[in-house]
Amino acid sequence: MSEHVDIESYIRTIPDFPIPGIQFKDITPLLASPQAFSAVINRFTDRYTARGIDAVVGIESRGFIFGAPLALQLGAAFVPIRKPGKLPHQTLGVDYSLEYGTNRLEIHRDAVQPGAQVLVIDDLLATGGTIAAACDLLTQLGAQVIETAFLIELGFLQGRSRLGDRSVFSLVRY
């Protein structure tokens, strides 16, 4: 059972970072508080303990911060999805569109087995392009994405709409 901590109070908004008009959600105060960080991991653990998760898939880089301790708590594998050229073994990659240009994500071809029950986690859901690409990679490997999970969701950017009927869970919504 997770303790009650006001997680949102540990997230600060930095105006005009990294460019004018952006209201950046800074999670470093949350990470600096063992109580708040633990509360986040415990809330995710409470949600996923009985879900039969085989692997927690974290998206580079802040998805690693939450995914690795959650995988340990669940007794599941941790699988990183990374930017191009960061994984040393045979990879599968997918390109995806950003507002201006494209990006690419990669996963090891042997990272998950077909039929594996996976949870995909990242720190923030914004427009949904990155998480949709990650789910595409996992589907290509034959994994079953049980849910996508986030510390923060920027609802006004409608990232959920990029995920179709996939289940989305967020601890804090703006």
> What pLDDT is attached to residue 3?
65
Contacts of 118 (CB under 8 A, 6+ apart): 53, 54, 55, 56, 57, 79, 112, 138, 143, 144, 145, 146
Contacts of 32 (CB under 8 A, 6+ apart): none
Residue 5 has pLDDT above 80, yes or no: yes
What 3-state class would DSSP assign to 173? strand
Residue range 73-131, pLDDT digits in tens? 999 999 999 999 999 999 999 999 876 778 999 999 999 999 999 999 999 999 999 99
> What pLDDT is attached to residue 101?
78
Known catalytic residues?
A: 62, 99
Alpha carbon distance 59, 131 (integer Å): 8
Residue range 121-154, pLDDT digits in tens? 999 999 999 999 999 999 999 999 999 999 999 9
Structure tokens given for 118: 């996976």
Mapped to the 3 state alphabet, what secondary structure does 89-109 carry?
CCEEEEEEECCCCEEEEEEEC
CATH topology of domain 50-173: Rossmann fold (3.40.50)
